Structure 1
């Protein structure tokens, strides 16, 4: 089984660069698919309060037979819990759901610029972090101007920023801001919900290296230094998405994929989305 590289976050915590995402996996399928991912070799599981499957993720981690310290578990704050006390209570509910002693990472899911104050929300996460119930805290879908405001009003720099990234939305500006401030970038929707898989450039590269276009795209993410967590409910695809460590893309390949950028989102615009 290949060893997944780890990225060291700004507080010294290590996160596996390749993980397994559970977005849109129904609760009744989550335990089985998460167990399949753990058996395949994934050691990083990403869930959220919004997904409704935290309980099943926790069940899979507990039933896997793996040491708790060997599995990195992320969840995210629901959009209706941005008030300080609401955020603290919501985290408590997450811990009850997952049935684990601690989380490895907890994120503000969306900045919600017109709904509450995410700086106050962040202060609740800082309190949770100080309590030791979570190893690292971060944000999701934050743009540089959101991050500047957060950094100006807080003491803990986010460990990660989880944003939509794929070949049609390369997010160079956000990624550069993250890197400048020691914030790791995590990529959600890494294959643009399948929209990039028939791209001629990716197809040519995939044929040359003997891999699928999905594998080439995920490898591109890894070589750019982003953390990525593809989602699937089929065992074959779960295994294929893990099979990324016996080939490398050239600098020319990376450049060609970078050039596919269209600033095209599959999800919401963080500056306009308010939950």
Structure 2
């Protein structure tokens, strides 16, 4: 990695790396090596989830890495099937066991459950208990819109430290990011380079930001890859991005973004690419299995 990894400060003063490594859609058989490669290249924020079914493999990589636990920032997520207070506490213990850890740095609700928001609130109240017990350093949510965030804030005591949402140049969700900022919630980006527009069913109908002329021109100007330009855009907007890959070359490239800066007009040019079109599932349509 060239340059120093900047840190962002959560609303409880916990520091989180500005760039992390995700393992969504990483096959378990390839996850351990991918995470080991990420750690060797300087990543310290690792993001997984119970629903990804690779927490065991992430834990194996962590234990074999030789990296001091205090220098790592490990996040996982609670799936909707375990929403509710007691079930959330049990699921947390199960995730912790699979990861081989005795505490988490960040624990997130994976989705809102609009069909049973009471269960969503109860699950978040369980996260509050875990936070108060010191078993997790910060808590938050994923894929919450502004209305769901407002209701959660009204019914709970701890403001989420993070709202992890889909953000990339073609779907940048400025309204939710503004709400997050005003509430003191960090925006964390999943699919930060637009991968969801490539791998999701019917994704052929969606454009790929990696091929956008604005992005490719900036990549040529700075002698960087399009992915590096997009990740630099995230960092300069104060968004914590968690790209994923199982390819060693790309894992190394994605963290090599701290030796150049985009200008204010260039950031504006990328902001202007937003189409408002979501790739992947609509969080409002998620249900229990």
TM-score, structure 1 normalization:
0.98
Higher helix share: 2
Structure 2 CA distance for aligned equivalents of residues 144 and 191 of structure 1: 23
Question: C-alpha distance in 2, partners of 1:34/1:78?
Answer: 22
Task: Classify the secondary structure of the residue corresponding to 2:4.
Answer: coil
Residue 271 (structure 1) shift: 2.5
TM-fit CA distance, 1:151? 0.5
CA deviation after TM superposition for structure 1 residue 220, in Å: 0.4
User: 1:159: which partner in 2?
Assistant: 161
Give 1:43-58 correspondences, 5 Å limit. Answer: 43-58=44-59
> Does 2:232 align with 1:219?
yes
Distance in 1, matches of 2:247 and 2:77, equals: 24
Instruction: Give runs of aligned pairs for residues 1-275 of structure 1, distance below 5 A.
Output: 1=1, 2-117=3-118, 118-193=120-195, 195-275=208-288
- Greater shift, 127-136 or 43-52, is seen at 127-136
Q: Secondary structure at the match of 2:121?
A: helix
Structure 2 regions of 5+ residues with no counterpart?
Answer: 199-207
* Structure-1 residue corresponding to 2:203: none
Per the TM alignment, residue 133 of structure 1 is displaced from its structure 2 partner at its CA by: 1.0
Matched position secondary structure for 2:189: strand
Counterpart-to-counterpart distance in 2, 1:108 and 1:178: 16
Deviation at 1:270, TM superposition (A): 2.1
Moved beyond 6 Å, runs of 4+: none
TM-score, scaled to structure 2: 0.93
Give the secondary-structure state (helix, strand or coil) at the position aligned to 1:187: strand
Q: Deviations over 1:236-266 (max 9, x none)?
A: 0000001101111111110000000001111
- RMSD (Å), alpha carbons: 1.0
In the TM superposition, residue 206 of structure 1 has moved relative to its aligned partner by 1.1
